[in-house]
Every structure is written in C-alpha cells, then in structure tokens.
Chains A and B, each alone.
Chain A
Amino acid sequence: MSDTNGTSAYERWRQAVDAAPPPKFPPTTISGRTIEPLYWDEQNPGEFPGQFPYTRGVHATMHRGRLWTMRQFAGFGSAQQTNERFRFLVEKGQTGLSTAFDLPTLMGLDSDDPRCLGEVGRLGVAVDTLDDMQRLFRDIDLNDISVSMTINAPAIIIMAFYLAAAEDAGFDWKNLRGTIQADILKEFHAQNEIVFPPEPSVKLVIDLIEFCTHHVPQWNTVSVSGYHIREAGATAAQELAFTLADGFHYIDKTLERGLDVDDFAPRLSFFFNAHNDFFEEIAKYRAARSLWAETLRDKYGAKNEASWKLRFHAQTAGCSLQDKQPEVNLMRVAYQAMAAVLGGCQSLHTNSMDEVLALPSEHAVTLALRTQQVLAYETGITNTVDPLGGSYFVEQSTEEMRTAAQDYFRRIEELGGMMTAIDQGFFRNEIANAAFAQQQELDVGHKIIVGVHRFVEEEHKPLDILEVDPEVEQEQIASLRQIKESRGQDEWLRSIDDVRRAAENNENLLPSLIAAARARATVGELMDAMAEVFDRHTAAVV
C-alpha cells in the first residue's frame, strides 16, 4: 500500500515513530529481551497504527510513546471538599481531574429545591452558582491540568460557570484543556438525566460546540458516551453503534450551523465502557476507530486527520461490580482496565472496589489508581503497539462488531433518523431487551458471577466506606440562600431575561449564560428560564 507520494504505509509509520521522542530506555521484558514498537505480517502488512482507519490505534507509538491519562472521577459534598480531594489526587500523581456533580446539579435543580431532599452533595459536588465553581478549582493551575466535567442536561450552564471562573482567576480560555460530557442523546437512550425535549436539548450541545470552536479551541466539546448505554444493559455492539450514531447526529446538526467539519470534529471525543468480556471489548474499541474514521472521511468529507481519529476515555464497568466479596472487584477492574489499554484508550478511570456500596473511600481510590500504574509500569503491555492485532480471534471479532454496528446504522436510518428513533423508543427498547436477556442468562445459570452464583462465602466482611456528612446539604442551602440575598437584583433579573430572549431568538446561549453566571444566577433559575422557551420533556420514559 503506497500513498500518492509512493511511500509505503510502513515507511510512513516508521517516519512517524522516528519523529516521536524516543523512549528514555529501550523497552525490554523483565528478562531483558528487546521489544519492537510494532509487530506485523511482512507478507501481508495491512494497516499501521497512526494511519487511516486507525484500527491499530490513533498514534504511531501509542502507549509506548505516551501513557494514557489516569483520570479518576471524583466529587462529593461541597465544592470545598471536592477541591481538597482534587488536590490530594494531583499529589498522588493523577494527571487529569474529573468532576462528578451531584444529582440535583445533573438535573439542573438548585440545592434548595424540595425535590432534592437527601441528594445534595451525595453522589458528587453541588454547584448552584459561580461561587461554587470558583471554590471547586481554587489553587488548581488550569493551564497545567486537563479538567473533565461529567454533566449533560445543564452542561451549557456549567461550561458558562467554568469559563467565567477561569477567566476571573486570570486564565486565558485559549489555554484551557478539558472535556465536558454534554452528550444529551445517550441520556435519552439510557441514563435519563433529561430536562428539555430532544430537539432543544441537542441545540444546546451544538451551541457549546460552536462557541468552543471559536473561543476555547483546546476544549473537547462533547464526550460522546457509550458508557451509560452499556451500564443500562446494552450489548457491546449496541454501545458501539448507538454511540457512533449519536456522534454522527452531532456532526449533522453542527454542519447545519455552517461550520466546517474539520473545525470541530477533532474536538469530539468518546467515552466507552470497559466490561468483563476481555476480547469483545478490545474488538469494540478497534471497530469504533475504523468506523468513525471511514465515516468522517468518506461521508462528511473531513480532510484533517485529526477529524478522523477517534480518541476515547474508558471507564471500567460499574455494573459489573458486586457487593458480595467486594475485594474481588479489584480483580474485575484490573482485567477490564487491561482491555481498555490494549484497546488503545487515551484516558482511563478505574472503578474503586467499594463503588457498589457507596462513594469510594480514599483507600479504595488509591488502589484503583495503583491498578492503572501497575498496568503502565509493570506488565509490559505498553511496550508494543496493538499487541493483539493479527490475532485471528481479535481481527474477526473486530469485523463482527463493525458489521453489527453498520446494521444498527441502517435500522436507525430506516426508522427516519435519530430523532424519530428516540420518539419511537427504539434505543430504549433495544437496550431493555438486552438487559433482560442478560438477567435471564444469570437466573438460569448460563452465566456465572464469582462470589454471587458460585464460590459464595457466607461470612460477610464489610468494607470501611465513605459516609457523606448530612450537614453538607444544610450548609450548601445556607450558602445558596446567602448568595441569593446578596446578589444585585436588577443585574440578576436582567441577565435571566437576556438568556430567555437569546433562547427565543434561537441564538447561541453561551454569551448570555456567562453574563448570568457573573450576575449570580443559579443553575435552577437558568434552567427554568430556558424551559419557558424550550418546554420540559414529559414524554414517555418507560
């Protein structure tokens, strides 16, 4: 295979490897044997990593050149407590921060809303106003660390808060690196953090893409997520297909704003699950890369290689964790993480063994991070790129995943596209059927979970778990009340009116939201203002 200049795929790969900074020490096995950066069939070389369609990885040297980002999701209680946890993680060697918000924030409700009773600060950090956002990232160098924020329905408001907080702390938006999940489609398929109907919900995502493309160029605007689809019970093929279909829909809608695909596609990233079935997961990641690259190049006409490259974060499967013999979860997580690494992830979260019981304790979080460090520094799996490439089993599985996904793309198309398929409950039904089938397999004993169905231990040793201080809720509500009383009423009211007007005029909402953040409008107030224009999603969630 040669390109137009007559260089072979191998030569181009070699050039890329040579251009990359060499490893400090040539990688060897524990026994001292030298490991080459890549192994391939010289008779039938096939694809090379770092080249279209990237089945073998998006970079020529992959983890041999640069390790993945070890990014542990954290957040609980007040912004100040989470800020302390962030600084603890940075100290432990974590290279990216990942923010979990509490359920009220995820649903766009203020902490003092009666519907939030008992939920404030429980599963993540509570953010009501710009002040909370400022506290959350106090004394953290935002030029130096990439920040990930897991939020969807109110993502555009949280992004407005972050941009205001960063700018007020003296950081230039151009230098900010990070990711906001902002993937509302998978909420309609699986996770149900839904506030507005599908169409305005997607509009807000596209606003974010558009604004960041112009003003926050290093920011990953959407983390197109299969993780939650899988957690809801989908098969690996469904996770793959629905996630890519969501990504394509965001592209379609952004193109309608007149942006060039190469201006924004490089900033779309992905988030996949790392489940128990080792080889199927690896096949899934490999298939995802080639499907994305082909569609971006051939359907959307992207010319920039960065648009073709599917970069992804992986998280080990929360739904695979068990509350019986919870230490066994350490082993599950380790194998799942290994699949993600062999599948070529760019960043990874490893679940803590106690996450099925409560929020992870510091001890459990440290062990989860150590799991990644052992993979990176001791196992040697990073020494060569795509070590499973060329395996009959892995290659055929990759092909089967591709075919299954393409089949789903066709079915979605036949239904009339993404929005009609959502309206008809197509994704939810497919996922619910798969989840039920899996449960039946367990109930009849065709599948086994260790410690639950076999190898059961009667004696139950509870782990020490993290308890969230119930006072957090009261403190957060008190702080919110105080902010509501002390803010400038005229400016606050005007800023909310501006948001409403921008929504009515179908403008990009970020500028008015950033102004409203500074006027101390709350997440809940801003959601209400938008809901007046967009309506609330009340359709069936069965």
Chain B
Amino acid sequence: MSHLTRAPRIVLAKVGLDGHDRGVKVVARGLRDAGCHVIYAGLWQQPEAVVQTVGDEDADWLGISILSGAHMTLVPRIMELLEAAGLEHVQVLLGGIIPDDDVPKLQELGVARVFGPGTSIPEIAKFVGAVGEPSDD
C-alpha cells in the first residue's frame, strides 16, 4: 500500500467484561485529532468479534484496552484468530493495567507495544505514524 497521505485506520476495542472506557475513549479522540481514522468498536467485545471487525474494517492497527487482568487469556486468543483470518499484517497495541512481567510474553505473541497508565496521546500517535498534530488547547 503506497498511499503516503492515507490516514492510519485503527480499530479500538474493549475486550472482555470490564467497562472502564475512560482511557480508550480519550485515546480515540486523541488519535482522531492526530489524523487517524479511528473505528471505535465499543465495550464487551469477544475476541472473535474484534477480529472480524478488524478484517471488515480493513484496519492497519488494532488497539485493545483491558483493565480486568484477563489479558493473558484474551490477547493470545486474539493473536491466534488474527493469524487464522490472514490478518497478520495488522499491528496490535495493548493498553490498560498490564504487569511488567507480562509485557515480554505479550510481545513474544506479536503485540507491537504495550501502553500503560500515564502514556501521552502524542506518544501513541507517533507510534502509529499519524501525520497530524494533536490540538494544543
């Protein structure tokens, strides 16, 4: 894909049962302002549904938010399903409460980056290669 000016398409989803969506919603707005096309898939998403969404939306990125501690169950399942669907090219980001010890394990599974509490929006925007600048005020 060679379109230099094409906005990155990112699916953001809350996976599992936890409903804490402050972070994911702030990231959604922030990435929009940074020039991304953000597709917010909402709460309580099952891994199967997330992967279908990523495919049907032809997204470049998948951002998952999990604050419930179930990431070591849910993320491997998502990575498996992405591969099975032929969506290995999709880069996966993870946000939420993720203990340090789990980060290398998640990266080994193919997660591109884990963003913990205190991450700034420009940091995430830069990582996904957004070209716009987030508004300052």
- Please indicate the chain B residues that have their CB under 8 angstroms from the CB of A444 in the complex: 136-137
Would B16 and A118 count as touching, CB distance under 8 A?
Answer: yes
B73 contacts across to A, CB distance below 8 A: 117-119
Residues of A within 8 A of B86 (CB): none
Check if B97 sits within 8 Å of A439, measured CB to CB: no
Chain A proximity of B84: nearest CB distance (Å): 17
Q: Number of A residues whose C-beta is below 8 Å from B?
A: 45
Contact yes or no, B42 A104, CB < 8 A? no
Contact of A322 among B42, B72, B99, B118 (CB under 8 A): B118
The answer to the question of A529 belonging to the interface, with a C-beta cut-off of 8 Å to chain B, is: no
Q: Is the CB of A357 within 8 A of B19?
A: no
A198 at the interface (CB under 8 A from B): no
A-B contact count (CB 8 A): 104
B69 interface contact, C-beta 8 A = yes
Closest Cβ–Cβ distance, residue B68 to chain A (whole Å): 6
Q: How far is the CA of A435 from the CA of B88 in the complex (A)?
A: 33
Q: Which of B20, B70, B121 contacts A191 (CB 8 A)?
A: B20
Mostly, the B contact residues are loop
A443 close to B (CB within 8 Å): yes
Q: Are B43 and A435 in contact (CB under 8 A)?
A: no
Is B100 touching A103 in the complex (CB atoms < 8 A)? no
Q: Is the CB of A103 within 8 A of B116?
A: no
A contact residues around B42 at 8 Å (CB): 541-542
Q: Which of the residues A187, A233, A323, A440 comes within 8 Å of B116, measured between beta carbons? A: A323
Is B26 interfacial (CB-CB < 8 Å)?
Answer: yes
**When the two chains form their complex, are residues B26 and A468 in contact, meaning their CB atoms are under 8 A apart?**
no
Least CB distance, A365 to chain B, in whole angstroms: 17
User: A103 to B68, Cβ gap below 8 A?
Assistant: yes
- A167–B49 alpha-carbon span in the complex (Å): 44
Query: Are B120's CB and A442's CB within 8 A?
Result: yes
Complex Cα distance, B30 from A193, in Å, reads 25
B117 adjacent to A103 (CB under 8 Å): no
Whole-angstrom CA separation of A462 from B103 in the bound complex: 13
Shortest CB–CB separation between residue A352 and chain B, in angstroms? 13
Closest Cβ of chain A to B130, distance in Å, is 14
Q: For the complex, what is the distance from the CA of A269 to the CA of B99, rounded to whole Å?
A: 35
Listed residue (B22, B40, B68) with the most chain A CB atoms within 10 angstroms of its CB: B22
17 sample A-B contacts, Cβ–Cβ < 8 Å, listed by A number:
A115-B17, A117-B74, A118-B72, A122-B70, A187-B19, A319-B22, A322-B118, A356-B97, A357-B100, A432-B29, A435-B25, A435-B26, A436-B26, A439-B26, A440-B134, A443-B122, A542-B42
Interface residues of A, Cβ cutoff 8 Å to B: 103-104, 106-107, 109, 115-119, 122-123, 187, 191-194, 231-233, 319, 321-324, 356-359, 432, 435-436, 439-440, 442-444, 449, 452, 460, 462, 465, 468, 541-542
Residues of B within 8 A of A (CB): 16-22, 25-26, 29-30, 40, 42-44, 46, 68-70, 72-74, 77, 97, 99-101, 116-118, 120-122, 134-137
CB-CB nearest 9 A-B residue pairs: A118-B73, A192-B19, A118-B70, A103-B17, A452-B118, A439-B26, A233-B22, A443-B120, A232-B22
